């Protein structure tokens, strides 16, 4: 089965972060005072005192494509994320790209359905090569395309993973991940996955960067200039890293793949192959709490 192609004639909104006003379209989910525009980048500063800096796009996108140039936080224990997720009052679906300080040689992909993992063997954490084998040393382009028919992850304009909707995948295919969120957070409580942040060694602060961002809403494909997405009024409540038990079987990544989930990239002749991602030797993987722990911003005087 080969997934359908993206619709033509859609409008794309782009932010180059050359002005502080470029941040006006984003809601600060956690510690917004630690995000700012500098030197043509949106900067996400991370400190021990406020261990998460995250923003969300203020419009919901039901189907479309998100694309950005990102340099992850280069520090052991930190997590940088670029995700789509559902609202708390709806199915908590999620589609992720993440980078963890313990191993920045790859970008990691993952998805959730209604806040849960797919059945064992259907949803391993994907590992995808980045330029220079260090996502924290240089900018790379990451893209997630999500529709009711397929989800595709791409790195530097190369598709690295695909999940196609079918009778087999219907029970765990995310369809309500309609909010874009990005930022960085302290993953030290997930030592086996992200490592531990030595705040003293890094001077108490580390940074991740977004050079530019593009959002294409497929509901705009009638040629209208503005997306028909609904406005987001309130940021969501984040889930604490403490809520994930690393010893639970639900939080342990299955090893190996399963061709029955129709996940993978198209091979020659357009036929589906197995998943294109694999777990690096000696690494420990698992789905992580991509909603970072909430912290209360310090009051400014």
Q: What integer pLDDT is reported at residue 89 of this predicted model? A: 62
- Torsional class of 282: left (φ above 0), alpha (ψ -120 to 50), beta (otherwise): left
Q: What tens digit of pLDDT does each residue of 136-192 get? A: 999 999 999 999 999 999 999 999 999 999 999 999 999 999 999 999 999 988 878
Tokens representing residue 71 in the block: 């340099």
Please list the ranges in the chain whose pLDDT falls under 50: 1-3, 223-289, 293-301
Domain presence at residue 83 = yes
> How many domains does the chain fold into?
1
Tokens representing residue 103 in the block: 């191993």
Q: Three-state secondary structure along 102-155?
A: CEEEEEEEEEEECCECCCCCCCCCEEEECHHHCCCCCCEEEEEEECCCEEEEEE
Q: What residue numbers bound the domain in which 169 lies?
A: 12-270
To the question of pTM greater than 0.85 for the whole model, the response is: no
Residue pair 153/261 in contact (Cβ under 8 Å)? The answer is no
Tokens representing residue 248 in the block: 């639970």
Q: What tens digit of pLDDT does each residue of 203-234 get? A: 999 999 999 999 999 987 764 434 334 333 33
Angle value at C-alpha 40, between 36 and 41, nearest 5 degrees: 50
Domain presence at residue 296 = no
Domain presence at residue 295 = no
Assign residue 237 the CATH number of its domain: 2.60.120.200
Domain presence at residue 280 = no
Q: What integer pLDDT is reported at residue 90 of this predicted model? A: 64
Q: What integer pLDDT is reported at residue 293 of this predicted model? A: 44
Tokens representing residue 197 in the block: 């942040």
Tokens representing residue 141 in the block: 């382009």
Tokens representing residue 154 in the block: 């791409």
Residue pair 179/59 in contact (Cβ under 8 Å)? The answer is no
Residue pair 142/79 in contact (Cβ under 8 Å)? The answer is no
């Amino acid at each position: 089965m080969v997934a359908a192609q993206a619709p033509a004639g859609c409008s794309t909104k782009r932010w180059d972060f050359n002005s502080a006003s470029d941040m006006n379209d984003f809601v600060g989910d956690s510690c917004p005072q630690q995000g700012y525009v500098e030197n043509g980048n949106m900067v996400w500063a991370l400190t021990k005192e406020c261990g998460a800096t995250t923003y969300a796009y203020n419009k919901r996108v039901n189907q479309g494509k998100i694309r950005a140039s990102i340099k992850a936080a280069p520090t052991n224990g930190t997590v940088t994320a670029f995700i789509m997720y559902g609202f708390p009052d709806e199915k908590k679906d999620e589609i992720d790209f993440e980078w963890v300080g313990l191993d920045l040689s790859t970008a990691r992909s993952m998805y959730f359905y209604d806040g849960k993992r797919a059945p064992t063997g259907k949803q391993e954490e994907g590992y995808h090569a980045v330029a220079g084998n260090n996502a924290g040393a240089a900018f790379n382009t990451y893209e997630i395309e999500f529709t009711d028919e397929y989800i595709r992850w791409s790195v530097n304009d190369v598709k690295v993973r695909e999940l196609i909707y079918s009778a087999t995948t219907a029970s765990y295919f995310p369809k309500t991940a309609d909010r874009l969120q990005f930022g960085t957070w302290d993953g030290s409580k997930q030592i086996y996955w992200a490592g531990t942040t030595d705040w003293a060694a890094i001077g108490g602060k580390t940074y991740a960067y977004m050079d530019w961002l593009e959002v294409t809403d497929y509901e705009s494909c009638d040629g209208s200039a503005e997306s028909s997405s609904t406005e987001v009024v309130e940021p969501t409540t984040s889930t604490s890293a403490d809520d994930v038990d690393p010893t639970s079987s639900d939080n342990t990544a299955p090893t190996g793949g399963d061709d029955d989930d129709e996940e993978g990239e198209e091979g020659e002749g357009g036929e589906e192959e197995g998943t294109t991602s694999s777990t690096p030797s000696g690494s420990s993987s698992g789905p992580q709490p991509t909603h970072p722990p909430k912290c209360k911003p310090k009051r400014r005087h």
